[in-house]
Structure 1
Amino acid sequence: MCVDVIRAAQRDGKQPRPEDFQAEEHHEDKGRILIDRLLRYVDVEVKRAVIALSACRAFSEETYRALQQNPRLASATRPAFEVLTGFSFMWHAARERGEQWFRVHALLRRLLAEREDAQEVLHDSHVALEDYYRQQVAAGNQDAIAEVVYHINRLDWQRGVNEWVAVFDKALELSQYGLCGLLLEVQQELQINNDFSRGYASNSEGQYFARLAQHADALASYTAAIKAYDAALSRVPDDVDAHNNKGSALMRCNVLRLQSGDSHDGFMDLRSAIQVRTRSLAIAPGDQRILQFRNRA
């Protein structure tokens, strides 16, 4: 990034100052300092363009042009594509996407997402990109729904998590395992800000691994879901949905353990599931879902 500072200053006819490159041996915020120094030497349009592209998980020239179509982002995306992709923090994403795809370095994306002066451009970019990828889905590119979910999440984390679970569960129901894989990649970047939602996503993930007979991964996902629901219940002990979902995760663990011949731990999971659902019934005596579960158990 030091080279980027020099190049940006030269393009703008400025001379970098020696202090721009002084070591900050005792400073824990070196990345943010370097970004501040870089943005000091680029013009406003380049700065806004870098921020706009940082909203993308990955981008191509077509994505860049799509951002230009948004009137509120036109000034942010005017600089030449070649200039922007020439920065050292713009990495090729050929292995994941194709030869002409790029991504902004993950550290820079994170740091820009934390900057107050970047929020307006980021918001507008996520809105534009959600719309762009919805158009891609409508045109027949079903995999683009994974990007739609990501940008929804960046605009409203809870709506994004709910959308992720709904789309993932539907893809699993239709045996669209490729799409499930893309959604699992997106999940690594989702903002999930409470324990109930973390359990919600992990439960769906466990069902995917169980379907593929990847039992160890499925058990790990269900265990993560159970721990997340326990954390949620430690704050809201009478949350019926958290109890019910935890019970479902325990039952799925029970099935997996019995399939692998682990009858002891399978029985323990079943007993725990019954206890959880009994607690749910005490909180909501008329809940038919709980009564049906108890009768099946």
Structure 2
Amino acid sequence: MVGPPGAGKSLLASCLPGILPELTPAEALEVSMVSSVAGMLENGRISRARPYRAPHHSASIAALTGGGLRVRPGEVSMAHLGVLFLDELPEFQRQALDSLRQPLETGEVTVARANAHVTYPARVQLIAAMNPCRCGHLGDPALACSRAPKCAADYQSKVSGPLLDRIDLHVEVDPVRAADLALPPPADGSKEVAARVARARQIQTARLDGTPLRTNADLDGDLLEQHATPDEAGRTLLLQAAEAMRLSARGYTRILRVARTIADLAGARDIGRIHVAEALSYRRQAPRA
């Protein structure tokens, strides 16, 4: 999420666990095992709530991925099957952020030390938030600094391209005006959104029954081709966009997974052009002038 200070990015991220389905018994056991290894299992009780971790931007590589003299899981493992929220993304050490690239790709992290070589699970939903530039007001001529738009390019370049390529949805968050706070609440609250998410997850569970996979994010190879191939119109649009946007192979497959999920949320059996178009709209956009 990219937006000015006070736009509600952190609030949106903290609300995300509330719309995710509860952990299954097997998933709860996995999460509890990681918490137990880290010494953070409260009173030995297993929780069905999905974990939510939000480390400070001063976190080191060891804090994010695991390590220490007595090797312990890092934040990416403590958030296994839940949400890892990185606020003020460009303020993290670049090396620390890049250490997350392999866990985000494979769903696990290996910590190698002289006295230990340990692999922890790390399948997370990474949510990141940042201001569009250092001053935070790139889109407001009255508040933007004198270096705009160059300050935006300099600030956003602190995050490496390969890491950004692993983030499926790039959303611009508009500033909240005082008048917006007086508007009536939206028709759909968290309860209604959670119900749609639960239905989509049920569709995915049925689709992947008999495989070790859980969600569309795990689709790859033959299963990706079998379940996430769009119709002819959607395929044509995707090929045109891949050329125009210079998508990497990773970006191409990630768009297919996102389009499959959008179709599931809409209750559609097949992936159509409209689902591909929405998935494409979430890819990384260039900084606004």
TM-score (structure 1 length as normaliser): 0.25
From the two aligned structures, give the one with the greater helix fraction.
1
Larger radius of gyration: 1
From the two aligned structures, give the one with the greater strand fraction.
2
